[in-house]
Amino acid sequence: MYFKNSVAAVLLNALSASATWTAYQEFLSLQSKHTEKTLTRPKISYSPKQPYEDIPVSPARDRTCVVKSHNDFTTDDSEYIMDALKSCNKGGHVLFPQDQTYVIGTALDLTWLCEIDLEIRGYIQFSNDTDYWQKHGFYQTFQNATTFFQIGGSDVNIYGWGMMDGNGQGWYDLYASNEYVLRPILFGVIGLNVGYISQLYLRYSPQWYNFLANSSSVVYDSIDISGSSQSKNLAKNTDGWDTYRSKNVVIQNSYVNNGDDCIAFKPNSTEHLVQNMQCIGSHGISVGSLGQYKGETDIVENLYITNVSMTDSSNGFRVKVWSGAASALSGDLQGGGGTGRVNNITCEDMTVQNVDYGIEITQCYGQKDLKACNANPSSLKISNIHINNVRGHTTKKFSPISGYLVCSSEKTCSNIQLDDINLTSPNGTKNLFTCDKVDASLLHGIDCTTVNKGTS
């Protein structure tokens, strides 16, 4: 992409003084890999595992709508985007050209999309008007989640190797001074039945990168996620994916470099396949947190996780369940007392490097006082967890312990089975786990200790 006039050059110089310059420079450098004017919709394949249920492939589209842009890094292009989507809905193909930049400064409700492709080749940035987004972002009811936009409907394909920039630095700094600020999620998919989201660069989200809710038969493939703070204020709660009340989901062939969960399966996530993932700096592949809200039933079951690498992370694979009594991790994250189940989860073929725990299961999430947790055990049941072929090295944080399996009651944990585990702590100790109220006979090759150094 080249700027052809002095006005654009001035704007580019102004951008270079902002925190988002890093993302835009990266976008320019990546475009040499993707030189076609338009792309053919990618054909998604699955390996080594297949989705729980077949996901239909979309028919060809019959027309193309090109999204106009002010191309000035300042003016809101939301109206242009809405015009193109409305013109090409129900059978069309919407193109965001590679030589265009877009600013979104208006919350967009796109839950009406139907039989449409969005080919994002350009650079899309969300405005940094934190006051506007706190008032107008879409509130999603779960853990104070809000989104810049929400995509839903049926038969939607999104692809193109474009970049979406959440302009997160202002949010990281704002959250450091006010933990109750509502930070938008970069990519919200709400109420989508059959969708393919692939070939995207996601950068600098204010909070979670992806939130999938109330959806079914959705595939994420070849997504590249990255972004950290450029100030002393950390980018917090930047989960790669959070899935919620969704079924038959695939997340595969993707890269995540963040500071929180690589993927988190929130309440009522079922039939999810995760494979071929590279996670750096994360909190692991996480089931939960669950049981946060008293009076609600959380179900997560039928998950298959395979071929994942985890580097410089707090955990490899973990299950996190709130205790039976109210507790708090922070002012904006508290809970406990919910019910439900975690059932039929397989995690296999995971390599870990420099993680605090290779495997962690806790029913005392949010409760640092273990006596209080045991006095008020969780009623959310964990059963039929199969973890196989997890290997690598842990950090010195909990050394020589490399795993943590602690339930709050024998009645709530059953059939947690480990096989072919090879986790080494810095002093050379292998497979030493903190174990409590779990069946040690199913932990093949694990040495259990009652020493409890807490969770990561």
Q: Which residues are catalytic?
A: 283
Give the integer Cα–Cα distance in Å for 121 and 37.
8
Give the integer Cα–Cα distance in Å for 318 and 408.
16
Give the integer Cα–Cα distance in Å for 375 and 408.
8
| Identity at 404, one-letter amino acid code | Y
| Identity at 370, one-letter amino acid code | L
Q: Are 124 and 162 in contact (CB under 8 A)?
A: yes
In the 8-state DSSP scheme, what is residue 75? S
Question: At 305, which helix (H) or strand (E)?
Answer: strand 297-322
Q: Order of strands, edge to edge, in the sheet holding 184-185?
A: 138-139, 146-147, 184-185
Three-state secondary structure call for residue 112? strand
Q: Are 74 and 103 in contact (CB under 8 A)?
A: yes
Q: What angle do CA 367, 235, 197 make, to 5 degrees?
A: 100
Q: Are 231 and 255 in contact (CB under 8 A)?
A: no
Greatest alpha-carbon span in the chain = 72
Give the integer Cα–Cα distance in Å for 53 and 194.
11
Q: Pairing state of beta strands 149-159 and 162-165?
A: unpaired
In the 8-state DSSP scheme, what is residue 50? -
Give the integer Cα–Cα distance in Å for 352 and 312.
8
Three-state secondary structure call for residue 152? strand
